[in-house]
């Protein structure tokens, strides 16, 4: 497996996931891919497993929180029994101190999908991280430039001393498109300069959307917002009861930097102040719930803007059977 590289957001093409087009052509013989997307706590994992059982499929993870070993309760990761024999790819592949770039994710996910297809099985891309889903479905072109820690450290120090506008102006001189789209995001500005430093070609000239590599059926799970909030709150309470505090404590006491990317996951970063004695457990629990509510609003915005998604309301009777029917019809075309 290639070594993960940091800063998945910086590696992302400067194309908004909300700009997804639904009218792009796909080759007649393009392999088929089923996508299961939707907000947190709505049932994506369950549907992915049910589809795998029904159609001979395998799950390719598209949830950034499932990569990390030792992080199970807080990310609602299905254990081996819950997976019911359905292979899950790109789960438990990183130590929590490591990071995953979008470019490496795309490479690993495409390899997993190709292997599944070679076994004449159905690939199921399951998860709620918009960047990951779109990078696969839309065939994003992402510059494969490895990180240069020394270069990044030098520019970060320069930005701290002289301000971000100095770096933005430097980027504008070589790549005005990247400069405009990077805005006030230091990480993006440095990444664009890093790519130009390594290749001599502007980042904006190397990125974008390529041909769509798959014929896709994209299922978008939904439920009324208040019902979703209630489901989230129940899950958070259950996670606390099942040992989420102890899971986070074990990671921190095991030497994991509280600033590590993995700790930024919902349910983990909120518990660090509690472990330091800076908040009560009740306050922390409410913060996890509120932050998760905020995150699902972001996910729902993406879902609404993606016109290729077929909505399925999971509160309606027979919603899984409806998903079965949609997939069966898709596979026959």
For 97-151, what is each residue's pLDDT tens digit?
888 888 899 999 999 999 999 999 999 999 988 889 999 999 998 888 888 889 9
- Tell me which of 162, 185, 206 is where a domain ends: 206
Residues 127 and 92 in one domain: yes
Residues 216 and 194 in one domain: no
Is residue 3 in some structural domain?
A: no
Residues 72 and 201 in one domain: no
Is residue 154 in some structural domain?
A: yes
Average pLDDT estimate for 295-321:
91
Q: Are the C-beta atoms of residues 107 and 139 closer than 8 Å to each other?
A: no
Question: How many structural domains is the chain composed of?
Answer: 2
The mean predicted confidence, pLDDT, of the chain is: 89
Residues 26 and 172 in one domain: no
pLDDT at 66 over 60: yes
CB atoms within 10 A of CB 194: 21
Residues 289 and 154 in one domain: no
pLDDT at 11 over 70: no
- Tell me which of 184, 206, 228 is where a domain ends: 206
Q: How far is CA 39 from CA 4, 127, 144, 229, in A?
A: 26, 9, 30, 11
pLDDT at 86 over 80: yes
Least confident of 9-13, 152-156, 326-330: 9-13
Is residue 1 in some structural domain?
A: no
Query: Which CATH number covers residue 153?
Result: 1.10.20.140
pLDDT at 5 over 80: no
Calculate helix-pair angle for 164-174, 149-162, nearest 10 degrees. Answer: 120
Residues 96 and 189 in one domain: no
Degrees to nearest 5, angle at CA 329 with 38 and 310: 25
DSSP assignments along 15-38, one per residue = S-GGG--S-----TTPPEEEEEE-
| pTM, entire model | 0.82
Residues 213 and 201 in one domain: no
Residues 157 and 123 in one domain: no
Is residue 228 in some structural domain?
A: yes
Q: Which domain holds residue 225?
A: 8-142+208-332
Percentage of residues in the chain having pLDDT higher than 70: 92
Least confident of 136-145, 235-244, 308-317: 136-145
| pLDDT: which is higher, 300 or 274 | 274
pLDDT at 183 over 90: no
What's the pLDDT at 35? 98
Residues 227 and 112 in one domain: yes
Is residue 15 in some structural domain?
A: yes
CA-to-CA distance for 62 and 90, rounded, in angstroms? 8
Is residue 31 in some structural domain?
A: yes
Q: Are the C-beta atoms of residues 1 and 284 closer than 8 Å to each other?
A: no
Query: Which CATH number covers residue 238?
Result: 3.40.50.300
pLDDT at 12 over 90: no
pLDDT at 19 over 80: no
CA-to-CA distance for 188 and 297, rounded, in angstroms? 24
What's the pLDDT at 250? 95
- Tell me which of 206, 226, 247 is where a domain ends: 206
Residues 317 and 227 in one domain: yes
Residues 247 and 273 in one domain: yes
Residues 167 and 222 in one domain: no
pLDDT interval class at 25 (50, 70, 90): low
Average pLDDT estimate for 80-106:
93
């Amino acid at each position: 497996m290639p070594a993960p590289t940091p800063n998945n957001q910086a590696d992302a093409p400067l194309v908004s996931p909300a700009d997804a087009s639904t009218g792009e052509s796909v080759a007649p013989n393009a392999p088929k891919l089923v996508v299961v997307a939707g907000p947190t706590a709505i049932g994506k994992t369950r549907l992915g497993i049910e589809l795998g059982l029904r159609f001979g499929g395998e799950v390719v993870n598209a949830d950034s929180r499932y990569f990390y070993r030792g992080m199970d309760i807080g990310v609602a990761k299905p254990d081996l029994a819950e997976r019911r024999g359905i292979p899950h790819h790109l789960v438990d592949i990183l130590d929590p101190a490591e990071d995953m770039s979008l470019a490496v994710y795309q490479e690993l996910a495409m390899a997993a999908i190709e292997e599944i297809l070679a076994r004449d099985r159905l690939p199921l891309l399951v998860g709620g991280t918009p960047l990951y889903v779109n990078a696969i479905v839309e065939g994003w072109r992402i510059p494969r430039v490895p990180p240069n820690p020394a270069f990044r450290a030098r520019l970060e120090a320069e930005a701290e001393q002289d301000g971000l506008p100095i770096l933005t102006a430097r980027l504008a001189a070589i790549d005005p498109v990247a400069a405009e789209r990077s805005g006030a995001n230091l990480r993006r500005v440095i990444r664009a300069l890093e790519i130009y430093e390594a290749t001599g070609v502007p980042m904006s000239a190397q990125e974008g959307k390529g041909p769509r590599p798959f014929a896709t059926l994209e299922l978008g799970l939904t439920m009324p917002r208040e019902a979703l909030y209630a489901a989230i709150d129940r899950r958070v309470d259950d996670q606390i009861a099942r040992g989420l505090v102890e899971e986070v404590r074990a990671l921190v006491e095991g030497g994991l930097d509280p600033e590590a990317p993995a700790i930024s996951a919902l349910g983990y970063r909120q518990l660090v102040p509690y472990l330091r004695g800076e908040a009560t457990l009740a306050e922390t629990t409410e913060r996890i719930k509120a932050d998760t509510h905020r995150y699902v609003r972001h996910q729902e915005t993406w879902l609404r803007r993606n016109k290729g998604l077929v909505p399925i309301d999971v509160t309606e009777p027979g919603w899984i059977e409806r998903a079965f029917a949609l997939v069966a019809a898709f596979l026959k075309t």
